[in-house]
């Protein structure tokens, strides 16, 4: 159906069946004007999709709109989608529950690619301490691991030949993540210079303390904090900062959002939408890649 015809039907419904006030209807009209500012090419309802709402959120975030404004506009479009489904104009527009934006939510700190480079080059790998720091930072950044996933990572989960690691995430869901050869080199160095020399062969976990037990979450936090201080990066950095930076940099370099979703282990793509610090150019590249097979 022609998009303008569908919108007219929707506003008739809002005015005469829902009984909304003229002021509220004006607000709704403004929300639609905002939407078409970002998506002027949409002229048929068949072009609408759940992913359009996600991209719309991205673009408004880039323009630094208040979260309350973004939340309202997404709500307006979502209700329009539901109306189209109810009237059987379109089907399956809303496949998942799109999470409303938390008005109090603040995006976590993330690092630029240059800051990550500085951070990763800070550990002194001529010492065992520095090698351990390097392994921790590489796995957090290059694989986007959660702290809980890092401390439970087992030796058998690392496939050196295939250059992948197996991770058990939330809900015991298993996922496969590529790992850079550079990170594998330091893991091998860590195993050779630390684990093997201290006869920790019976421990199934990769990262262990001097007693052969898995490193604690607190130890991982302490390592990240200590290295960030040495690197003189003036940001409040913690392990999640590297996971957040991992996702941001993937999207900046044109990765498809669903691929990032899978690597992060998010059950819903809407959770991945917080990683939206993209330049307009990089966002368009990611968007074009996403739709190239449609």
**What tens digit of pLDDT does each residue of 157-180 get?**
999 999 999 998 877 788 999 999
Per the structure, the complete domain to which residue 12 belongs is given by: 3-86
**Does the annotation count 243 as an active-site position?**
yes
Residues 127 and 240 in one domain: yes
Catalytic residue among 8, 170, 180, 284: 170
**Does the annotation count 12 as an active-site position?**
no
Residue of 124, 73, 120, 134 whose CA lies nearest to 101: 73
Catalytic residue among 243, 244, 249, 277: 243
pLDDT, one tens digit per residue, over 6-44 is: 999 999 999 988 888 888 899 999 999 999 988 888 999
Question: CB-based contacts of 265: which residues, under 8 Å, 6+ apart?
Answer: 146, 149, 167, 169, 170, 173, 175
Which residues in the chain come in under a pLDDT of 70?
A: 62, 95-108, 201, 268-294
Q: What is the pLDDT of residue 211?
A: 84
Q: What is the pLDDT of residue 212?
A: 83
Residues 65 and 130 in one domain: no
**Does the annotation count 78 as an active-site position?**
no
What CATH number corresponds to the domain at position 158? 1.10.443.10
Catalytic residue among 10, 56, 275, 287: 275
Residues 236 and 194 in one domain: yes
**Does the annotation count 38 as an active-site position?**
no
Residues 122 and 181 in one domain: yes
Q: What is the pLDDT of residue 26?
A: 92
Question: CB-based contacts of 158: which residues, under 8 Å, 6+ apart?
Answer: 165, 179, 184, 187, 206
**Does the annotation count 86 as an active-site position?**
no
Residue of 214, 227, 237 whose CA lies nearest to 133: 227
Catalytic residue among 195, 266, 277, 287: 266
Residues 128 and 60 in one domain: no
Last residue of a domain, one of 244, 270, 285: 244
Q: What is the pLDDT of residue 104?
A: 39
Residues in the chain: 294
> Using CA atoms, how far apart are residues 121 and 99, in angstroms rounded to an integer?
38
Catalytic residue among 134, 146, 238, 244: 146
Residues 128 and 240 in one domain: yes
**Does the annotation count 146 as an active-site position?**
yes
Residues 43 and 166 in one domain: no
């Amino acid at each position: 159906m022609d998009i303008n015809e569908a919108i007219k039907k929707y506003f008739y419904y809002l005015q005469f069946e829902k009984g909304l006030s003229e002021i509220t209807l004006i607000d709704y009209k403004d929300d639609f004007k905002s939407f078409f500012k970002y998506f002027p090419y949409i002229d048929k309802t068949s072009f609408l999709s759940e992913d359009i709402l996600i991209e719309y959120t991205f673009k408004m975030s880039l323009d630094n709109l208040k979260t309350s404004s973004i939340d309202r506009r997404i709500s307006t479009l979502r209700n329009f989608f539901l109306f189209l489904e109810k009237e059987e104009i379109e089907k399956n527009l809303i496949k998942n529950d799109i999470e409303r934006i938390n008005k109090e939510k603040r995006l976590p700190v993330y690092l630029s690619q240059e800051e990550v480079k500085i951070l990763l080059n800070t550990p002194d790998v001529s010492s065992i301490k520095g090698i351990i720091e390097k392994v921790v930072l590489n796995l957090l950044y290059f694989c986007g691991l959660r702290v809980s996933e890092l401390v439970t990572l087992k030796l058998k989960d690392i496939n050196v030949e295939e250059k992948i690691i197996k991770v058990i995430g939330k809900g015991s869901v298993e996922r496969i993540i590529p790992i850079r050869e550079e990170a594998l080199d330091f893991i091998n160095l860590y195993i050779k210079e630390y684990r093997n020399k201290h006869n920790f062969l019976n421990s199934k976990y990769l990262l262990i303390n001097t007693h052969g037990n898995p490193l604690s979450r607190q130890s991982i936090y302490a390592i990240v904090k200590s290295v960030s201080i040495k690197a003189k990066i003036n940001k409040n950095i913690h392990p999640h900062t590297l996971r957040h930076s991992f996702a941001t940099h993937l999207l900046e370099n044109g990765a498809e959002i669903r691929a990032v979703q899978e690597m992060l282990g998010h059950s819903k793509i809407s959770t991945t939408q917080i990683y939206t610090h993209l330049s307009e150019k990089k966002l368009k590249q990611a968007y074009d890649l996403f739709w190239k097979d449609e």
